[in-house]
Each structure stands twice: as structure tokens, then as C-alpha cells.
Structure 1
Amino acid sequence: MRDFRTSTALARGLGAAGNGTRDFWHQRVTSVLGVLLIAGVLIVISTSVGADYDEVTNLLSNPLAVIVLLLALLNFCIHMRIGMQVVIEDYVHGPVTKALLLIANTGFSAVIGVAGAAAVLKIAFAG
């Protein structure tokens, strides 16, 4: 038998998808953390101004400096992924194109994060 209710009537009472608020708060939290972490990154960078290669590698062998750099990198990659996800969801209307761009966005963020972490860890452990 055919249902004669409108699409609005069918959707009424189902509630929201539930992801918008989570992404909104993650974006705000990564913004605040980014401000704090960039201060740490600037401290790490400013202590190496005018230093030679060996002094910089010694500085980046410090576990605290490595942790600050890795946390900042992770935070900025997450923030970038969420920001681009919002842009893609708002401005790309084709379902296939949107899905492919969201997959590419997550993949790009992951590649940047892994490459950056590998570079920091290589300097930290191998010099």
C-alpha cells in the first residue's frame, strides 16, 4: 500500500543527524589548542634561531620539544580536515563528488600528518 504522507511528515520526529554539533565543537577545541600549541612551537623555533645544524638536532632530540611539535602537527591536521569537510559538505552538491572529496580530504590530512610526524621523529631519533 502506498504511503500518502509528505516527506516532511516522514522525517518529523527523527531528529538531527547528530554530527554537526560534534564537528562544531571539535573545530573550536582544535582552534583553542592551536593557539596554545603555536606558542610552544614558537618557543621551540625561537631557541634555534642562529644555531647550527648540530644545535638544532640536539634541541629536537629533547622529548618535550618533540611532543610539542607532534601535538601541534596532529592538532592542525585535525583542524584542517574538519574545516575542509565543512566546506565540502556546504558547497559540493553531487553525492558521488562529495563522497570522493571527503575521502580525499581525510586521506590528504592523514598523509600530511604521517609525513610531518615521520620528519620530526627522524630528526629526533636519527639526528
Structure 2
Amino acid sequence: MSTITVTAPSVTAVRPATRLRLTARGRRVLAGLAALPLAAGIAFAAISGGSALASGDEAQTVSFATVTVLPGDTLWSIAESVAPSADPRTVISAIERLNALGTGSLQVGQQIAIPAEYTD
């Protein structure tokens, strides 16, 4: 019969890895490198952000009539008075969109803009 002998391979001790130490200057350099993409993005946004304002086109001015809300006024009554021949529901919808009225409630003395298509 044959015999097999198992021996453990010789293991040599390995030195532990050295710990990375950053000096104050190294921390500043690392922070600067980390902040560089952010600074580049801000600079790019600042440079290219004003291109719409720099166009040579003149801005269009839109004129519209305003109505002051009196006691007892509703959107329906205002719509009927400014556009008697139009459907009040479409006029109310246009007034709500133009004035960004979410609830449709009016306050006495409030200035309501009337769309140009319903003004005389």
C-alpha cells in the first residue's frame, strides 16, 4: 500500500498595507478636485442661460381689458356681460385660464383680465 503525506505550504507573513494619510494640503486639493465638476456646471449654466434674453427680437405686448369685480358678480355674469353672443362656459374657461383662477371664487374689488377675443 502507498501512503500520501499532506503538508501545508509554507506561508510567509505579509506586511499590512500602509494607511493613506492626507495632509491639510492634500485634503484641500481633493476637495477642489471634487468641486471642479460642480463649478464647471455652474459656469456653463451662467454663460448659456442668458441666450434667450440676448436675442434681437422685440417682445410682443399683449393688451387686454380688465373688469373690477363688484358685489354680487360671478364669473357667469361677467362672461355674459363681456361676450353676450358667446357661450358663457367657454368665456368662463378662458377667463379662468388667463387669470389662473383655480377655484372660480372672486373677491370684491379684484381685477379680472378679459381675453382679447371677447373685448370690443
| TM-score in same-fold range (> 0.5) | no
- Which of 1 and 2 has greater Rg? 2
Greater RCO, 1 or 2 (C-alpha within 8 Å, sep 6+): 1
Q: When the two structures are superposed, what TM-score results if normalisation uses the length of structure 2?
A: 0.28
Q: When the two structures are superposed, what TM-score results if normalisation uses the length of structure 1?
A: 0.27
Higher strand content, 1 or 2: 2
